[in-house]
Amino acid sequence: MTESLIETPAVQDLLTRSSGLERGEEGDGRLKQIVHRLLTDLYRTIDDFDIQPDEFWAAAQHLTALGQANEVGLLIPGLGLEAFLDIRTDTAERKAGVKAGTPRTIEGPLYVAGAPLSDGFARLDDGGEEGKVLIMNGQVRSTDGRPLAGALVDVWHANTRGGYSFFDPSQKPYNLRRRIRTDAEGRYRFQSILPSGYGCPPDGPTQQLLGRLGRHGRRPAHIHFFISAPDHRRLTTQINIDGDEYLHDDFAFATRDGLIAKVASAADSSEALITFDFVLHPETPGLPKAEVQRTHAAAS
Ligand code: MBD
Ligand code: FE
């Protein structure tokens, strides 16, 4: 058996020095260990697959294009990494005894902070959107069944072309984005339009990679939420709309049991109706962190 190229002194030395591990106390020790592992795995992948320099530089160019197109946050869910982070948080919670409450699912890349705030009810669309009128309502409760008055429902979704305001400059600022405080019974209600599914930009680097993996870049119609209330764990979630052809074929892997919303339609009405309650778990010392720090855009 020949020795792996990775195990040779020259390559081991390169890995140690490039990750700063021989620099003693200088720098960040945890980061050094992580970079060392990532580089070892990458060097090994290059060697095991006999990746040629042309292929390597094509990949480097792809990463450059991904950043330039502001699609890093789009490829991450596409590769299942954002769902994997959720699986890890779910697992840590289960171990710590957190078992009840509405399931979390990924935030995705299209949240904008600072949407208009109102009490009890909001209209999300600016009146200029086509699409079926959607009335959605529900209650925010604690896991013991107690309604949570004054909880914050931060909601955002796409229009019927799959576009999100701010990222789609044809929409007005904060279109289809609102923050609603629940009333004394923990209830929220909003009027909007029923969104369509999302598709990755067809000419972008994310879709280009997905295409080469034989995959599509489509999401089912969905509505995003951050739900928060004092002394409770913040919930990042979405509802995915029942009946969508991509419901169980989401490129971002966000559909979960417990997050599929049925749309009701009154026989005498052209409006779509969704009722969905959110259940938050009380915050208790020792639980894994629920709130995720992440840089967000803010419309001005
Ligand atoms: C979206 O609307 C979305 O929610 C995710 C996760 C990725 C791309 C677009
Ligand atoms: Fe989305």
CATH number for 117: 2.60.130.10
Any domain includes 79: no
Which of 73, 89, 114 is at the close of a domain?
A: 73
The Cα 119–Cα 178 span in angstroms is: 11
Q: Which is it for the CA torsion 89, 93, 95, 101, positive or negative?
A: negative
Is there a single domain that holds both residue 61 and residue 150?
A: no
Given a contact cutoff of 8 angstroms between Cβ atoms, the answer to whether 153 and 121 are in contact is no
Give the closest residue (by CA) to ligand 1 atom 6: 108
Any domain includes 211: yes
214: which 2 tokens? 């034989």
Give the closest residue (by CA) to ligand 1 atom 7: 108
Any domain includes 83: no
Is there a single domain that holds both residue 151 and residue 212?
A: yes
Is there a single domain that holds both residue 139 and residue 260?
A: yes
Q: What residues line ligand 1, using a CB cutoff of 6 Å?
A: 74, 77, 106, 108-110, 198, 219, 252, 254
Is there a single domain that holds both residue 161 and residue 46?
A: no
Q: Which residues pair with 117 in a beta bridge?
A: 179
Is there a single domain that holds both residue 139 and residue 231?
A: yes
Is there a single domain that holds both residue 150 and residue 284?
A: yes
Question: Tens-digit pLDDT profile for the chain (300 aa)?
Answer: 567 999 999 999 999 999 999 998 999 999 999 999 999 999 999 999 999 999 999 999 999 999 999 999 999 999 999 999 999 999 999 999 998 999 999 999 999 999 999 999 999 999 999 999 999 999 999 999 999 999 999 999 999 999 999 999 999 999 999 999 999 999 999 999 999 999 999 999 999 999 999 999 999 999 999 999 999 999 999 999 999 999 999 999 999 999 999 999 877 778 999 999 999 999 988 888 888 999 998 876
Is there a single domain that holds both residue 105 and residue 228?
A: yes
198 CA from centroid of ligand 2 (Å) = 7
The Cα 156–Cα 97 span in angstroms is: 30
Any domain includes 179: yes
Nearest to 272 by CA among 243, 230, 229: 243
The Cα 83–Cα 255 span in angstroms is: 10
Number of domains in the chain: 2
Structural domain including 44 reads 5-73
260: which 2 tokens? 């599929």
Which of 22, 40, 73 is at the close of a domain?
A: 73
Give the closest residue (by CA) to ligand 1 atom 3: 108
Q: Which pairing describes strands 112-113 and 297-298: parallel, antiparallel, or unpaired?
A: parallel
Is there a single domain that holds both residue 206 and residue 66?
A: no
Neighbour-count burial for 76-101, b at 16+ CB within 10 Å, e otherwise: bbbbeebbebbeebeeebeeeebeeb
Amino acid at 86: D
Model pLDDT, residue 300: 61
230 CA from centroid of ligand 2 (Å) = 26
19 CA from centroid of ligand 2 (Å) = 36
Main-chain phi, psi angles of 148, to 5 degrees: -105, 95
202: which 2 tokens? 């067809």
Give the closest residue (by CA) to ligand 1 atom 4: 108
